Structure 1
Amino acid sequence: MSEKRLFTVKDVVYIGVFAALCAMATTIKIPFGVGAMVHLGTGAMLTVALLFGGVYAGLSGAIGSALFDLLLGFSPYTLWSFIIKGGAGFIAGTVAHGIWPSKAAGPKPFGKWLGRAALGCFLAAAWTLGGYILAWWQVTGSLTVALGNIPGSLMTSGAGIVIALLLAPRLRKIVQK
């Protein structure tokens, strides 16, 4: 479990591609409340988590969401998103798949994998909700506004969980090769 390894060029490239995917998927959004939005970036990050593990999902979620915030006008949330989405990706990926991608263990039975995947996604959603309540409160200065954004966060996480749980099993066979 305490597998030590260094980043390879392949790891860096994959994380970069997945970060770009997360940033691009976040641009597909519906604004909701003050600073909140329903978007597909969470679905991309959770799919990476279920397929590749905590390190890939954590770094690609952190970099991709921070990049989105920085480049598309949400700069007060950049550091918050880096920490919150990075943590969410790491949590979901570690629970569902482990810390690093590994072919050596072989594919887990689908039933066992689905349970761990769902648990990881729900824990990541809880982390995200708590983190963004703090972020919205800090950035807007209003706890009322922060609490008003809870439905948007729940809808984004819910959509992301559904996307990841539908998409990841179909992509597992491709990734295993």
Structure 2
Amino acid sequence: MKNQNLKEMTRYAVMIALTTVMTMVVHIPTPGTKGYLNLGDMVVFLAAVMFGKKGGFIVGGLGSGLADVLLGYTHYAPITFIVKGLEGFIAGSLLETNLGEKAQIIPMALGGVWMAFGYYIAEIFMYGAKAALASMPGNIVQGLFGAVVATALSMALKKTGIFDIH
């Protein structure tokens, strides 16, 4: 039991670190909302595929929130923890359904749409409706791009048998 918990925690830690790195490697500032676009969503979705809703939430929230802190976007870190955590949770929950088994990209795309909507709601209070609305297209593209890449990567990883992916 202890070895299983250690193995699970190690996998989570690796995916949290990978999410942080992928978020930080390419981050494109969005002046209107003082946020940024990034590549971390694909790792959040991979975590949802690999670990389910619990892992999707943990990896999405902690990995993305840590990137905010390290990049100096500390004002976003609590929001990111919730928004990206729920992005992973939503994708992981829907991946466990018949829909997720038939068309893996749809649960991930819905997680990405949630992410854009979650930031939109938070940014209305932070910057006003116009600035929040201006960030929506970029966030939607980021979420959908992450879903497409994560779908392709998870299919490739399943074929290798390296990971125990659902």
Q: TM-score range by the shorter chain?
A: 0.7 to 0.9
For the 8 Å contact 1:59–1:86, the answer to whether it is kept is: yes
Other structure's SS at 2:28 match: strand
Amino acid corresponding to residue 113 of structure 1 in structure 2: E
The sequence identity of aligned pairs, in percent, is 28
Deviations, residues 104-140 of structure 1 (Å, cap 9, x unaligned): xxxx9xx97351x222112212221221001212222
1:176 Cα deviation (Å)? 3.1
Q: Which structure has greater helix proportion? A: 2
Partner of 1:175: 163
Partner of 1:105: none
Alignment of 1:8-87 (within 5 A): 8-27=5-24, 28-34=26-32, 35-87=34-86
- Using the size of structure 1 for normalisation, the TM-score is 0.80
1:54 Cα deviation (Å)? 1.1
- Using the size of structure 2 for normalisation, the TM-score is 0.85
For the 8 Å contact 1:23–1:68, the answer to whether it is kept is: yes
State the alpha-carbon separation in 2 of the partners of residues 24 and 49 from structure 1.
18
Runs of 4+ residues over 3 Å off in structure 1: none
Query: Which of 133, 143, 150 is residue 157 of structure 1 equivalent to?
Result: 143
Q: Which runs of 5+ in 2 are unaligned?
A: none
Q: Which moved more, 1:76-85 or 1:32-41?
A: 32-41
1:149 Cα deviation (Å)? 0.4
State the alpha-carbon separation in 2 of the partners of residues 21 and 133 from structure 1.
25
State the alpha-carbon separation in 2 of the partners of residues 176 and 20 from structure 1.
19
Aligned length: 158
State the Cα RMSD in Å.
Answer: 2.2
Amino acid corresponding to residue 138 of structure 2 in structure 1: G
Other structure's SS at 2:126 match: helix
Query: Which of 69, 88, 110 is residue 123 of structure 1 equivalent to?
Result: 110
